[in-house]
Structures are given as structure tokens and as C-alpha cells.
Amino acid sequence: MSLSVTKMAPELVSPCDPTPTDNLLPLSSMDKTAPVGFMLDLALVYGHGHEPAKVIRGALSRALVPYHPVAGRIVASDKGEVEVASTATGVWFVEASADCTLEDVNRLERPLSVPAAELLPQAPTKADSEGLILLVQVTEFKCGGFAVGIRFNHAIFDGVGAGQFFQAVGEMARGLPQPTTKPVWCREAIPSPPKASRDDHDPPFFTPPRFVETVYDVSLDSINLIKNEYVKETGRKCSTFDAVAAALWQSRTRAIGIEFHADVCVGLVADVRNLMGDVLPAEGGYYGNCVYPTGVTASSDMIVHASLVEVVDLIKEAKKLLSAKMADWFRGDPREEPSKPRMDYGALCLTDWSRVGFAEVDYGWGDPIHVVPLIGEGHPIASAIFLKPPVPQRGLRVMASCVIEEHQSAFNDEMMKLA
């Protein structure tokens, strides 16, 4: 079946009321660790809605009043620092229609039957894309369902921040006069570490493998089995993230067959808002980057032969050290400065999207059927994203892009044990 998506010309959606337009807003030290211009792409899929493009366009315009920096543009200051010009220029918005039903494309489950680019918005020209913070596309399907394609600039939002913003858009769509959570910019409150003098060396040249993208649904029974075993052996509890991260890391290490003496590592990107209570508002609302990377390295032999309880312990220990490592970075310790991730096949990066708020964005017709990260091909690092599974499933969904084709069968066999 030939499927096509027809897009209307992009339109700028600006704040519906006057907002400040003469100020430059600085980014935080954490914002600056994210690559400026790097857009994170995803789609939220909904089973039904009435004129969703019209509703979401209007709600977006209202949400951009309290979130007025999002309608601005990223610029460079006279000193070369990255800032946001609060210009109220607006967010590019695209209305689109597909000549098929969601069922025809398997509700946009993997593998995608529609190219990701068809679901994602683009600015009209390259000149119009300079300094963009956010783009939105609403694609309506013949069945009445729709998908909201989102591209957001990582230098302005982390996942929690973007989830907060789109929940606010949902609240505006449902008729609330103001977002339940009041947004705060507050970037200047994040400590700025002293400039550390150190030698930066480019990493060795690395040709990224072509990773196979797969999706696995880890059952609640499997998660509880790991949790219960951990409690039984240690007398302590572990989180769902800890349990699935340990199982995934071990499964991948076994599948890729790396030499036993070689090191493998897992990198975690953690939300640290709970550690920033002395500088961020207690009532929440901060939507900038508030994440810090941590990780753990071990020999391949150890991870392959360890019990899951032992692997969980390694991950928990890395998380336990997070507060001290971040404090050292804020004091100017160059050893703790967030750095480029390790670039080799033995490295794995994990991100948890199951609790950032995307799965709770309700425009008036209920929560999305599911959340679809649209990372695209060519991502240089083996990675996996944790997601809420589609309703009514329970457990955790893992979207993995972390093994090459020759290791896919072995990895699949390992992960099927968790189904």
C-alpha cells in the first residue's frame, strides 16, 4: 500500500498576548553542556480527536505567553555566549494529513511504515531555521487519529522540561486559563563552575557502526522478578530503571561477544532536580536542562557472568555517587565536567523517557497511545530509550539502537527472556 503525507505550508505561531521582547536571556552551565542546535525529535500518537491541528495551534499560542522565551531565537552575545533573544517571533507549525488510517501504519509502531521526516516539521528555508527552539507538526489520519511531531532544541529543554511545556499546551487545549505548573526561566540560579584549564584532546577517529533499531516490551512480571531477587539477596530495594538497565546491559554485553578482558560501560543521564532544591524553586516549573551524566565501567567478563543483583548494584553505586560528582564539577573540578560520551562499541547510553511527561500530554482526548522517539539513523552511540508501554500494557518499553546486524539475533534472544 502506497502511503503519503500532505503538508501545508509552515506557519509561525506566536504568543496570543504581548510578551517581553527586549531582553536577552542567558543559558545555564547545564544548558551549555548540551549541543546548541541539536534537535530532539519525537511523535505523540493519539487514537482520536476533533480538529486537532486547530485546537493545538490555538493552545500553543496561549502556552507561549507564559513560556515566551520558547517563541524567541537562540543568538550569540557580543562575548560569544549563547543566549535566547525573547523576540516573540514564534514557533513554526505545520498542519498535515495522511491518506491512510493509523491501523494502516500499525499505529506508528516500529518499524515505521511512514518515513520519520513525513511526521516532523521543517522550517520553510535554511534561513528560517537559524536559532530555532521548537517546531510542531500535527498529522491527521483518515480514522480520526493524529500524531503530534515535535522537534525541540536540547539547549533550551531537557526531556522533563519539554514534557512540562507540552503538558501546559494540553492544559490550554482543555480550557485551563494558566498552566498548572508555573514556568520559571531561572537559568542564572544554576551554579557556573569556574573555568578549568585542562588539555582537551580530540577522541580517536571512530566510524559509527550501523545499529539495528528494535523495540522490546519488558513485562511487569520480569521487572518484579528482578526487584524481588534484589530485595531477597540484599535487603534493599531497586527501581524499575535499575532492574531493566542491568538486564539490558548484561543482555547486550553477552550478545556482542566483546573480548572478556575489554571494558564495557553504561552511561546514564539523570534528572538532578531533586539535588538542586537549594537553588531552584520548591514548587517546580524549571524547564531548562537539569541533567548530569554518570556511568559505570566493568570488564566484559564480569558483566557476562555476574548475577543481575550484582549488575544492579553497579548501577545503583553509580547513581549514589552522582550528587558528589556534580558538586565537584560545580566547584570547578575538571575531572567531573560533563564530557563527550565514550565512542566505541563497548559503550552503551541509557535515557529514561518513561517519567518525563510525554506520555501524559492530553489535548482533550486522553493521553497518547504511545510515544515514538524519532532519533533517526546514523546515531553514533549505542543507546536505548526507556518508555511507557502502550496502554493497556504494563512494564517498560525499550527502544534500542545498540547492536549491529550480526549481533541482533543473539541480542533478541537475550531480550526475549524479559518479555
* Residue 104 annotated to the active site: no
Given the DSSP bridges, would you call strands 134-140 and 91-98 parallel, antiparallel or unpaired?
Answer: parallel
Helix (H, G, I), strand (E, B) or coil at 251: helix
Helix (H) or strand (E) holding 413: helix 405-416
Are 27 and 111 in contact by the 8 Å Cβ rule? The answer is: no
Whole-Å CA distances, 161 to 14, 75, 118, 157, 185: 20, 20, 25, 5, 11
DSSP letter for 197, please.
P
Q: What angle do CA 225, 400, 1 make, to 5 degrees?
A: 120
Q: Which residues contact 158 (CB under 8 A, 6 or more apart)?
A: 34, 271, 288, 289, 290, 291
353-392 burial code (b ≥16 CB/10 A, e <16): bbbbbbbebebbbebbbbbbbbbeeeeebbbbbbbbbbee
Q: Which of 68, 154, 370, 407 is catalytic?
A: 154
Q: Which of 104, 328, 362, 367 is catalytic?
A: 362
Are 222 and 263 in contact by the 8 Å Cβ rule? The answer is: no
* Residue 154 annotated to the active site: yes
DSSP letter for 91, please.
E
Given the DSSP bridges, would you call strands 383-387 and 347-352 parallel, antiparallel or unpaired?
Answer: parallel
Q: Which residues are catalytic?
A: 154, 362
